[in-house]
Each structure stands twice: as C-alpha cells, then as structure tokens.
Structure 1
C-alpha cells in the first residue's frame, strides 16, 4: 500500500473551491493571475475563466450512472485538484468536479495551485508535462492513491488530436477556441464518462482486496 507521504511532504496553500473562486476574483480585480508568469495572455485567460466557471456551475447535472456508483457504498475519499486560474481546461472542469464531490457524501475536495505544489505535481505528469487540471483520488484513511485523472477528458483529447492532424497550420489560439467550443457542447459528459470508469475500477479493486 502506498501512503500519501510517499507522494508529498505537505500541501501548500490548500483551498476550497469557493476560496479558489475568491482568489480568482481578487486577481482579476488587480489585473493579475496565479503563478510567477504574469503575462497579458494569462491575465486575460483568468478573466475569461471567471465566466466559464459560472456557466459550468449553472449548467452542470450529474449523470445518474456516476451518482449511483459514488453513493452505492460509503466512500471516504480525498480529491485533490491541481490547477491555475489561467487554465482554460481547469475553468471548464473544476466546477464540475466540485459539484460531483459536493453531491457525494464522503468525498472531500481540495484545490491546489500547480506551481505552489511542484512535488505533488511531479507525481502525476502527463507524458512528462505538468498538464492541468489533474485530479488525484486518495483513500482518506490510508492515504492510498486510488486513481489520477486529467488533464482533459479522453473524448475531448481525441478531438484535439484529430484537429491537429487535420489542421497542421492552425495556431494555438485557434486550437484553444475549438477546445472551448467542444467543452460548451459537451456539458461535462466526457468528464463524467471518464470518472465512471475510474470509480468503477477503484471500487472493484477494493472489493477484490476485501
């Protein structure tokens, strides 16, 4: 069994989702963003992400299959989410992940800034990169890591790969715009489909051990 201490010594600046939202609001008012890289692009993304988070909050509906999986047995899980305020994927996904946790007794959500927690981030890289958001699910009692997810729903990532292959000359801004359109159309479905598989695997593994 792997303990939490294996992954990190301590969490730096742990926040609730509401605290993260307040931080984002304060940064927008100051014309800033999270992290050391205070570029105009990241500051603008942070401002856009405020609206994106609000839209997801209003539209999100948990899917019955995921809800049934999470409540069929009492969980005692910690969900850690690594993110930054300028991250467009994070703005689309963090509110949905938060809503799932809030609707599931036994799941405690903690939001962490990636650049303030490099030790933890380095344990869940995506093809060697620090892609975010990243969700880490741990057993709250033992600290055992049950699964990680991120940085993007597999169905949407597949669309990204196809878009790049079919549009080799497309710039970064065009890709970002396409990704945001896919998220808006998807309405958190792809995320929940990924989580259904991961949660089912985690529950099955626990039953096998028992």
Structure 2
C-alpha cells in the first residue's frame, strides 16, 4: 500500500470540520453540491445531509473506553477523511469522527473532498470502487499510514447486506431509507467500535516496535 506523508503537497483544499460544515451550509443555500459532475439527485441529497449532520452532532455520545484509550497515549495522529457533501454515509459519520477528534487534542482532523484528491483516493479503494467516506489514520511524526477505515461501520454494513439479500426487489431508495434508520438508531456506536479495534491494534503494533528497538 502506498504511504503518503501528511504533508503531501498534492492534497487539495484541506478543510477543518467547521469549515466543511460551513461549505455544506453554503452549498445548500445555493442549491449546489460538491463533485465533478453533480446530479440533481445529489443536490437534493445534500439538502438532507445537512439535516443529518446537525442531528448527529446533537445525538452523538463518545464512548468513555475509546476516549480514554486515545487520550492516555501520547498520540501524534492525523486523520484524513475523504468525503463529498452529497454522500449520505458521510453525513452520518463525519460529524461523529469530528467529535472523536475534538475530544482528543493529539488527533488532527482534515476533511478532503474525494473528487479533488483522486491520488489519495486511489490508495484506499473498496473492492476497486471509490466508496466514501474513508478515514486514513497517519502518524504525523513519520508519515506512516497506521490504518484505513470505511466506508461504513462493520455492523451497519452487515445489516445492509443482509437486508438487501432478504429483499431483492426493494428499490435503492427504500434501501437507503432503511440505512439511515439504522444510522439514527446507532448514533455512532458502530463506528466507535470499529475505531476502537483499529486504534488498539495500531497502538499495540507501535509498542511492539518500540520494545524491539530497545
């Protein structure tokens, strides 16, 4: 897997979460969205996504176990998140990721638009597709990629796949509606379980490397 430095100059238009939220708000007011060739449906999705982002900000509860694990280590991590304003999964997940990073000062969060950063996107494809959102965890000291997550929490993805298999005639619109119901019920829990596992593995690997170097 190609490892990119957090200072990679090809990263275009990096945003803080607050700047990204402002961008989405501006796009909604202008009835536009992000992406290379946005469709009318994607513009409509962006309208709904702003509401989803605001709702997740209100409902998200950070798991004490995840917070404590991340806070007690002297991390120097950067989280790069690839997304687009029209992405429904991103609307549910990016606010939760931002809340986690906000609670851990040693994690710097950077939001990147997928279509503006194709080189980075190509390093974290999902079965050959450019599915988003994607979170890339980097060691800011070394530029090493520690883990990649996304585009959907494991538990919710499994629910989605089982539901689609059980209802082969269900339209994509109905499937997406059900997906967002699961997200509303989940409130970011499944995301945190995934990130706890990945972060724990990264920390264990780091400790093993330090011990081997002694």
Same fold (TM over 0.5): yes
| 2:5 and 2:144 in contact (8 A); partners too | no
Partner secondary structure for residue 141 of structure 2: coil
Find out whether 1:193 has 2:196 as its counterpart.
Answer: no
Equivalent-residue separation in structure 2 for 1:90 and 1:18 (angstroms):
15
1:42 is the counterpart of 2:42: yes
CA distance in 2, matches of 1:74, 1:7: 20
- Following superposition, the deviation at residue 4 of structure 1 comes to 2.3
Equivalent-residue separation in structure 2 for 1:175 and 1:124 (angstroms) = 25
Note the C-alpha offset of 1:9. Answer: 4.9
Measure how far apart 1:38 and its partner are.
Answer: 2.4
Please tell me whether the aligned partners of residues 6 and 78 of structure 2 are also in contact (alpha carbons under 8 angstroms).
no
Gaps in structure 1 of 5+ consecutive residues: none
Following superposition, the deviation at residue 6 of structure 1 comes to 10
Q: How does 1:1-210 map to 2 (within 5 A)?
A: 3-5=3-5, 9-210=9-210
TM-score normalised by structure 1 residue count:
0.96
Q: How much has 1:60 moved relative to structure 2?
A: 1.0
Q: Which runs of 5+ in 2 are unaligned?
A: none
C-alpha offsets along residues 34-66 of structure 1, whole Å, 9 cap, x if unaligned? 012221110010000111000110111110110
Q: CA deviation at 1:99?
A: 0.4
Which consecutive segments of 4 or more residues in structure 1 shift more than 6 A?
Answer: none
Aligned residue pairs: how many? 210
Q: How much does 1:193 deviate?
A: 0.3
